[in-house]
Chain A
Amino acid sequence: MVQGSTDAADEKARPEVAVEIAGLNKWFGEFHVLRDINLNVARGERIVICGPSGSGKSTLLRCINHLEDWQTGRIVVDGIELNDDPRQIVAVRRDVGMVFQHFNLFPHLTVLENCTLAPIWVRQMPKRDAEAVAMKYLERVRIPEQAEKYPARLSGGQQQRVAIARALCMNPNIMLFDEPTSALDPEMVKEVLDTMVGLASDGITMLVVSHEMGFARQVADRVMFMADGQILEINEPKAFFAHPQHERTRLFLQQILH
């Protein structure tokens, strides 16, 4: 298994496996959306997930922070087993940041307030400290000058970068990205991907649903292909792109890479 090797030293106390998914099955009514998913994500590992629409990519991601419930199987995040105990769920969510396709910024709050809301109310951080942290991450995503604006005044790319900063303010160990660039105009995709590449070099564990194959080549430790709720193929990017094992992967890559 390929490892993100940067600053692993201070992570010794935590388990080596960031996310452990075993025998996961989920149905929406009669519809079997996730079939027997098994996946171990190592600490610092970056996984890019691709697959046709409706294959269950988002659903899988949303199970990891329990935005979706599931019927059988287990998920352990950072050593915390997810079950129906609300305290466990909150503990996991504090540790897992999520970035959505449609940003989901809070429109009634300024950019800065978007970023400080959870640190203040979930981490009980003093407002001043929370604002300092927020400004640090807004600088990180290169929009500190927008801090006092309301989200509606920003471009899509800027909004998505705010969403990334907002998630980072909780200082998560794991970041989930659900098609972070697919709602953006082409000229804004790059600024968001650049931000994510920057994150990747920090050694944060990342699960990214994306069809940006350039990004996958550049930062992924493993690329995963899903279809019909199953993991059909998962491999290092070089091998994945050069020699896809599965016929469906081959077809999918052909379509996506033209």
Chain B
Amino acid sequence: MASDTFYLRQTPLVVLLPPRARAGVLGWLRANLFSSPFNIGLTAICVILIAWVVPPLLRFLLVNATWSGDRAACLPSADNPHPGACWAFVRVWLSYFVYGFYPIAQRWRVDLFFVALAFGIGWLAWLRAPRRDVAALYFFVVLPVLSLILLCGFPLIGLPGVSTVLWGGVLVTIVVATVGMVCSLPLGILLALARRSQIPVVKWLAVMFIEFVRGVPLITVLFMASVMLPLFVPEQLSPDKLLRALIGVAMFASAYMAEVIRAGLIAIPRGQYEAAQALGLGYWRTTALVVLPQALRVTLPNIVNVFIALFKDTTLVFIVGIFDFLRTIEAARGDPRWTSPIVSITGYAFAALFYFVCCYGMSRYVHGMERRLARRSG
């Protein structure tokens, strides 16, 4: 072997830069916005739309907005002939939007509940967090009990009871949505499994429940839960109004969830069941360890779809006289001391912002999770 042959490189490799047009802002623009006549056209349309919508929106929401004062400050005046959003209204009413009529002296309990919930969600949602099994235990066992004690009260340890009639605003929206989501997943899974069961009774019960609940609007379910239940159960025994609504929402969400999950179950090939059975795994272990993890992953986008729909559907509980977030805004904007078109628009804009932030947050989070999952099985 000649002595000038080496197996290891002796000189560093010349670094080749990517061709100029593909790198940097210009390259990105060219690749994404101006790659074809069709794309150029689309880009132009989008630019026009943005120019049309965004400046007036910003002007209304920020530039011309009124940040403090009372109703009069929000009305057109000499130095502000086209007033924008009346954030002063939101500021004054904010605590009502968040807590409803929850007694002021006890609102720290609601705050604590929000913190405990956010902590649980953060722990569960952070995929690389330590001890996520403990997180699940916390979220599904500790948190519900803690929340119940905190929010409803527990006189024995010095927390006076607070009737759910006084609850309102974001508190109610979050409670209804969380209970709905947390119940709908396990119930939906059970219903979906039941619907695929070999046992006819189980199967037909599941089919009947799912088809019945899906076949009527949520409003009807809520109405039945709140109006018809007292007809059969004596008034003293009939459960709390909020609880009835919670049951209605949970039932409704479960029925939808069941169908979403069933679609995921159908997508699992027979070979997976057979491999698990051949290894000696029984029905429940096959389901829990092999089938469900895969089915849930396939259906993740649809599950979140149900969650988002549910989150927005919680606004319907107002129909049975519960003051959720949107209803508190409705009530506040009707207050004679404030009522004006600008105030109404501001209230709705605020509500839209709240719902959008929550739903978009869920959507983004799951999008990230999907990408993570895709990377591993690519």
CB pair A67–B376 under 8 Å, yes or no, is no
Q: How large is the interface on A (under 10, 10 to 19, 20 to 34, 35 or more residues)?
A: 20 to 34
Query: Tally of A-B residue pairs with Cβ under 8 A?
Result: 62
Q: In angstroms, how far is the closest chain A Cβ from the Cβ of B216?
A: 36
Known: A150-B377, A152-B377. A105 touches B275 (CB 8 A): yes
CB pair A118–B271 under 8 Å, yes or no, is no
Which residue on chain A has the smallest CB distance to residue B288? Answer: A121
Q: Does A256 contact B (CB under 8 A)?
A: no
Q: Does B277 contact A (CB under 8 A)?
A: yes
Q: Does B336 contact A (CB under 8 A)?
A: no
CB pair A118–B274 under 8 Å, yes or no, is no
CB pair B290–A106 under 8 Å, yes or no, is yes
Q: Does A98 contact B (CB under 8 A)?
A: yes
Q: In angstroms, how far is the closest chain A Cβ from the Cβ of B300?
A: 12
Residues on A with beta carbons closer than 8 Å to the beta carbon of B163: none
Q: Does B378 contact A (CB under 8 A)?
A: yes
**Chain B residues numbered 196-240 whose CB sits less than 8 Å from any CB in chain A:** none
Residues on B with beta carbons closer than 8 Å to the beta carbon of A98: 275, 278
Give per-residue flags for A73-108: 1 if the beta carbon is below 8 A from chain B beta carbons, else 0: 000000000000010001001101110101011111
Known: A100-B271, A107-B294, A108-B377. A65 touches B278 (CB 8 A): yes
CB pair A93–B377 under 8 Å, yes or no, is no
Interface-centre pick from A86, A106, A150 (highest chain B CB count, 10 A): A106
Q: How far is the CA of A167 from the CA of B275 in the complex (A)?
A: 9
Q: Does B130 contact A (CB under 8 A)?
A: no
Chain B interface secondary structure, helix, strand, loop or mixed? helix
**Chain A residues numbered 97-151 whose CB sits less than 8 Å from any CB in chain B:** 97-98, 100, 102, 104-108, 117-118, 121-122, 150
Which residue on chain A has the smallest CB distance to residue B290? Answer: A106
Residues on B with beta carbons closer than 8 Å to the beta carbon of A97: 278
What would 23 A/B residue contacts be, using CB atoms closer than 8 Å?
Answer: A65-B277, A67-B277, A86-B282, A90-B280, A90-B282, A93-B277, A93-B278, A93-B279, A93-B280, A97-B278, A100-B275, A104-B269, A104-B275, A106-B275, A106-B276, A106-B294, A107-B377, A117-B281, A118-B280, A118-B281, A122-B279, A122-B281, A153-B378
A-B contact sample (4 more), CB < 8 A, given A107-B294, A118-B280: A105-B275, A117-B279, A121-B289, A166-B279
